[in-house]
Chains A and B, each alone.
Chain A
């Protein structure tokens, strides 16, 4: 309806404002979302780092892109939890019975997730700087990094929407993140793939994390990016479209 479209942005603003309030009133969730990645970064740099032949002088620089992905994966699980709570508490039904553009109910959460993960990544960069992270990248490569991380966040958030809408328990809504947090370990995120046995190596080199990590690593180092940036973008956009499609299906199924 025309009236719904006219109010789309005003409705979206209200829904986004609500989700942002949730985030800023539960800062503990940001801390929780950053603790695992920061802990991993400390572990890899100060415990395992000495034994890993990464081929770079600065191992903090080496692990940081992988840590970003772990942080995004654990951060987006809060979108599942918040959506699940909305469904469970009945506030989703209240919104759905009102004359609101339905897609704003999901987009409000998704856009808030970008802000949430932006803050958590910023905290991680600050900790990394204290640990000796240095980047030779100029403004443009940094913009490219921010853009790519935003795309990854958007993709994983739409993935997170699916369990948020379909889970039957609060635990079910959160577990989807575990395999995603684990994925960077079987990639080039922490150790070079050439040290892995052939089967694992084949998997590691052809899964999305490696392409994304290698691209960000090159950008951070101020080096030219390889073809892998296209592979990384293709993975993100492909998964994004699929997740968006299934999330919409899950939303529509609620009215069937």
Chain B
């Protein structure tokens, strides 16, 4: 069996009466992009919070980079970075200051150099000394992702990385995520967009009503569904066709 970046067994979590996770099980191999797909309220964020040590499960086990998320939380935190649903950047600091701060908190030797490299890589060098409050949505997200890369953690969690972005911003994030995956990093992302999972992920799991109801590669998932059928559907003319037809008749006259 290849090395597993994430292993989850029989995970349960309830908020009072509400059962959010009811026996979630899955594993993610090292170096993969794993997409957790599910509608709003399916428990995606709860799961990501448990895996990133922000929340304790009621029962079950979760190993991240081989460490238990409860018993070895500090070691898990050394192995991961988390990018939440909303760009978690400091508005009053500049882009550079944000990155330097994270580099210092990760106890890196040369925080300034690390910051400058990432600014360059994410196309933020020009905006580096501007306060983040003046950044556009796409720039914030890029800075957010850059902050996740400080200290090169082997496992990266991205919670709905493209929610709230315009189409251009989405494409930008997709490009970055694909780059991140190079170099053996494991990426665990959640999304509610099917095309996003299709575009990015090697492996997809579908979370529904607190359980993983399907998981595998895109090809494997496609096999689960009935094969494509041929159907005959009466096609109504479009306004364009009507218009062209009328014009054509007139010309004939």
Contacts and interface: CB of A to CB of B under 8 A. Distances in A.
Given A18-B93, A26-B92, A96-B54, A11 B82 contact: no
B105 A91 contact: no
A256 B56 contact: yes
A226 B66 CA distance: 62
Contacts of B97: 21
A90 B84 contact: yes
A95 B102 CA distance: 9
A21 B77 CA distance: 26
Chain A contact residues, majority secondary structure: helix
Interface string B82-113: 11111111111100010001101111000000
Contacts of B102: 98
Given A14-B105, A25-B92, A97 B81 contact: yes
B82 A4 contact: no
A231 interface: no
Interface in B110-142: 131
Contact of B82 (A7, A25, A89, A94): A94
A98 B101 contact: no
Contact of B90 (A7, A26, A91, A256): A91
Interface string A163-177: 000000000000000
B88 A94 contact: yes
Contacts of A7: 107
Interface in A1-59: 1, 3-4, 7, 10-11, 14, 17-18, 21-22, 25-26
Nearest to A23: B92
B88 A93 contact: yes
A89 B86 contact: yes
Interface string A59-103: 000000000000000000000000000000111011111111000
B52 interface: yes
Q: Which of A11, A14, A25, A256 has the most CB of B within 10 A?
A: A14
B74 interface: yes
Contact of A97 (B77, B90, B91, B107): B77
B24 interface: no
A97 B101 contact: no
Contacts of B213: none
Contact of B147 (A10, A93, A94): A94
Nearest to A4: B74
B82 A97 contact: yes
Given A7-B107, A10-B107, A90-B84, A97 B54 contact: yes
B175 interface: no
A227 interface: no
A255 interface: yes
A11 B56 CA distance: 24
B92 A21 contact: yes
A89 B133 CA distance: 13
Contacts of B90: 18, 91
A95 B54 contact: no
A91 to B, nearest CB: 5
B106 A18 contact: no
Contacts of A93: 49, 52, 54, 82, 84, 88
B55 interface: yes
Interface in B166-220: none
B53 interface: yes
A21 B84 CA distance: 24
B206 to A, nearest CB: 25
Contacts of A90: 84-88
18 contacts: A1-B74, A10-B104, A10-B107, A18-B101, A21-B92, A89-B89, A90-B84, A91-B90, A93-B52, A93-B82, A94-B83, A94-B147, A96-B54, A97-B53, A98-B105, A100-B105, A255-B53, A255-B55
9 interchain residue pairs of minimum CB distance: A90-B88, A90-B84, A97-B82, A94-B88, A99-B77, A97-B52, A91-B88, A14-B104, A1-B74
Given A1-B74, A98-B81, A98-B102, 12 more contacts: A3-B74, A4-B74, A11-B105, A18-B93, A26-B92, A93-B52, A93-B82, A97-B82, A99-B78, A255-B54, A255-B56, A256-B55
